[in-house]
Copies of this chain bind each other. A is one copy, B any other.
């Protein structure tokens, strides 16, 4: 297998960075249950809706969620449910590092 390049590390880091924020982890977990509109996610996060919208847009750019407009509302859902594996991974790191 070829050595990992600097570009590959950057791409990997982009994905991890997108998830590396408490609010975005909460959003991902909410979306794991089922698709939600921004206003529902604002309630779940307890932040200004513009802040939530920016977090979602960041997750979309990272390829983690997708959005779909229905009438006035925009529904977000997980594009890559495999991202939920991260939760388990993180918990094992935290368990190991006790």
Q: Residues on A close to B: CB < 8 A?
A: 4, 6, 9-13, 15-17, 19-26, 29, 62-64, 79-80, 82-83, 85-87, 89-94, 96-97
Contact = CB atoms under 8 A, between A and B. Distances in A.
B89 A86 contact: yes
Contact of A92 (B82, B90, B92): B82
A93 B85 CA distance: 10
Nearest to A10: B22
Contacts of A64: 93, 97
A62 B10 CA distance: 20
15 contacts: A4-B25, A4-B26, A6-B22, A12-B90, A12-B91, A13-B19, A16-B20, A16-B86, A19-B20, A20-B20, A63-B97, A79-B96, A79-B97, A85-B85, A86-B89
